[in-house]
Amino acid sequence: MSAVAIDIAEKRFRATAGGPGREVFRGFRLDVGAGEFVALLGESGLGKTTLLNIVAGLDRDYRGSVRFGTVSPRLGYAFQNPRLLPWRTVLENVALPLPPGEEGRRRARAMLGEVGLADLADAYPERLSLGQQRRVALARAFAIEPDVLLMDEPFVSLDEAGAARLRDLLRRLLAGRPATVLFVTHDRREAVELANRIVVLEGAPVRIVRDLPLALTSAERASSARIDEVRRALGAQAQG
Ligand SMILES: Nc1ncnc2c1ncn2[C@@H]1O[C@H](COP(=O)(O)OP(=O)(O)OP(=O)(O)O)[C@@H](O)[C@H]1O
């Protein structure tokens, strides 16, 4: 049984005074197996965020269904923008999805330690660099020990070294707490380094044009030559 079975018969945004209506999905299906790390690649404005929002249950205005392999799965969501609450401390931001009280704060503190930000627990988000804010967002997404983790370009706008450090961190976090991951990116290198399945999307409406399983060893993932080879194999459809 799939961990996530997505079946979107139709999703459209209605026309508003500011713009035309748009059909984003029609007859779209994607099944994700338990423990898979699926990278979703596709052009800007295609519908990738909309897809994650539908899976997360944040957007219910569509025809179709999203089914999960477990009853009441825990969903973690790392948004494109870290979306930290500026009036809450770093610790309070990580504790947000946890039950209130001392146990939640203890878990949030432990997560902050795992992402290397224990020292900043009492700071406010405005003091943090973008890379640190993204670490906090990761800590918050992992704090609930998610069964399914949705990630929307979580490392965009960082320099290459910063993004590489966060990719390492994500791998370490997942090694400790395996989850099924849907990871949106524009970056083929990032997809090849992280994923064990790459799904290339085109549209509109969104359709799957490549669905590539990747069984790379960690040594192969660290090899630029091997990564370039897979990037080429992905073809011209994917950017990055
Ligand atoms: N609330 C909304 N109302 C109307 N149109 C919307 C709304 N949200 C998204 N859209 C439109 O739906 C399409 C898909 O948007 P979405 O944000 O899902 O794309 P995306 O693939 O995630 O893009 P990017 O890679 O740039 O983040 C876009 O054309 C967008 O303008």
CATH of the domain at 230: 3.40.50.300
Domain boundary among 116, 144, 172: 144
Q: Based on the domain organization, do 60 and 21 belong to the same domain?
A: yes
Q: Based on the domain organization, do 140 and 153 belong to the same domain?
A: no
Q: Based on the domain organization, do 193 and 222 belong to the same domain?
A: yes
Predicted pLDDT at 127: 94
Q: Based on the domain organization, do 139 and 38 belong to the same domain?
A: no
pLDDT(54) > 80: yes
Q: How many CB atoms lie within 10 A of CB 180?
A: 23
Q: Based on the domain organization, do 184 and 70 belong to the same domain?
A: yes
- Closest residue (by CA) to atom 26 of ligand 1? 44
> pLDDT averaged over the chain?
91
**Ligand 1 pocket: which of 26, 40, 50 to mutate (most atoms within 8 A of CB):** 50
Structure tokens at 232: 């080429």
Rounded percentage of the chain residues whose pLDDT exceeds 90: 72
Binding pocket residue ranges, ligand 1, CB within 6 Å: 13, 22, 24, 42, 44-50
User: Could you tell me the residue range of the domain that residue 108 belongs to?
Assistant: 81-144
Query: Cα of 59 to ligand 1 centre, how many Å?
Result: 12
CB-based contacts of 150, cutoff 8 Å, min separation 6: 52, 55, 56, 75, 76, 77, 78, 181, 182
Give CA separation, 135 vs 16, 143, 216, 222, in Å.
36, 12, 26, 22
Query: Cα of 218 to ligand 1 centre, how many Å?
Result: 34
Query: Cα of 68 to ligand 1 centre, how many Å?
Result: 24
Q: Based on the domain organization, do 33 and 116 belong to the same domain?
A: no
Query: Cα of 19 to ligand 1 centre, how many Å?
Result: 12
Q: Based on the domain organization, do 43 and 99 belong to the same domain?
A: no
Domain boundary among 99, 128, 144: 144
- Closest residue (by CA) to atom 9 of ligand 1? 50
Q: Based on the domain organization, do 117 and 211 belong to the same domain?
A: no
pLDDT(158) > 80: yes
Q: Based on the domain organization, do 70 and 99 belong to the same domain?
A: no
- Closest residue (by CA) to atom 18 of ligand 1? 47
Domain boundary among 144, 161, 192: 144
Q: Based on the domain organization, do 13 and 70 belong to the same domain?
A: yes
**Ligand 1 pocket: which of 12, 14, 22, 156 to mutate (most atoms within 8 A of CB):** 22
Q: Based on the domain organization, do 162 and 64 belong to the same domain?
A: yes
Query: Cα of 109 to ligand 1 centre, how many Å?
Result: 35
pLDDT(179) > 90: yes
Q: Based on the domain organization, do 96 and 205 belong to the same domain?
A: no
- Closest residue (by CA) to atom 12 of ligand 1? 47
Structure tokens at 218: 């960690």
Name the 3-class secondary structure at 83.
coil
Region of residue 145 (phi > 0: left; psi between -120 and 50: alpha; otherwise: beta): left
Query: Cα of 185 to ligand 1 centre, how many Å?
Result: 14
Q: What span, in angstroms and rounded, lies between the C-alpha atoms of 89 and 122?
A: 5
Predicted pLDDT at 82: 83
Query: Cα of 24 to ligand 1 centre, how many Å?
Result: 8
Average pLDDT value for residue range 20-25: 88
pLDDT(237) > 50: no
For the CA of 14, the nearest atom of ligand 1: 4
**Total tally of structural domains belonging to the chain:** 2
Q: In this predicted model, what pLDDT tens digit does every residue of 105-133 receive, in sequence order? A: 999 999 999 999 999 999 999 999 999 99
ipTM: 0.95
